[in-house]
Amino acid sequence: MVPSDSRLQRDVIEELRWDPSVGRAEIGVAVKDGVVTLSGQVDAYAKKFAAARAAERVVGVRAIAEEIVVELPFEGQRTDSDLARAAANALLWNTDVPKGSVMARVNDGWVTLDGATDWKYQKEAAERSVRYLVGVKGVTNAIRLVKRASANDIQSRIEGALKRSAEVDAAHITVEATDGIVTLRGRVRSYAEKKDAERAAWMAQGVAAVDDQIMVTI
């Protein structure tokens, strides 16, 4: 049974309250045709990220629009120079980020990551390194992935990963790989399952982009 927009709104609000990573932030939730819009103001970028992840977990969510604004308190503000140094150190100290592969640029508290890595997990590790730093207002992950595998190898590895996953019904998902671009099609039961399938695709070496065309049906 497809939940009504009002029921879905209540469920998302409850999930936000349940998640301690979101804290006591006042976040507005609007729902139309299963698409959730998050709005409001938080005092840390990490809370904005956690709010979106919380909404993803709710059954019936088809898509999420993030309109949350990060307003840092006075004690949480840092100069761009200080934040850039902190980001550089965080990247250096993370063993999942290849040394010298990623550079951080900071503009008014917004961190942009540039560079190239072999694996998606390395790209995500770099983003996690800076996401929780004091003074961060937002993160743009522009790290490129180096293609080192054939299309057939990428496709077979992703199909195998989906079949092994307890969170994804692989029988209803098709995988196509061309020149490092993976296209996912099919139907799943929740937005969280859709994101799990996308994350599984990103774990294959050689994936440069994922075109997630999976539809959420209840």
- As a whole number of angstroms, the distance between CA 159 and CA 171 comes to 10
Task: Check whether 147 has a pLDDT greater than 70.
Answer: no
CATH of domain 151-216: 3.30.1340.30
CB 16 within 8 A of CB 28: no
Topology of domain 5-71, CATH: Histidine-containing Protein; Chain: A; (3.30.1340)
Q: How confident is the model at residue 132, as a pLDDT?
A: 94
- Residue 170 token pair: 């692989």
The CATH 3.30.1340.30 domain(s) of the chain lie at 5-71, 75-145, 151-216
CATH class of 75-145: alpha beta
CB 63 within 8 A of CB 195: no
pLDDT in tens, 14-67: 999 999 999 777 899 999 999 999 999 999 999 999 999 999 999 889 899 999
pLDDT in tens, 84-127: 999 999 999 999 999 999 999 999 999 999 999 988 889 999 99
Q: How confident is the model at residue 193, as a pLDDT?
A: 87
- Cα–Cα distances (Å) from 95 to 89, 139, 191, 209, in that order, read 12, 20, 31, 24
- As a whole number of angstroms, the distance between CA 180 and CA 202 comes to 11
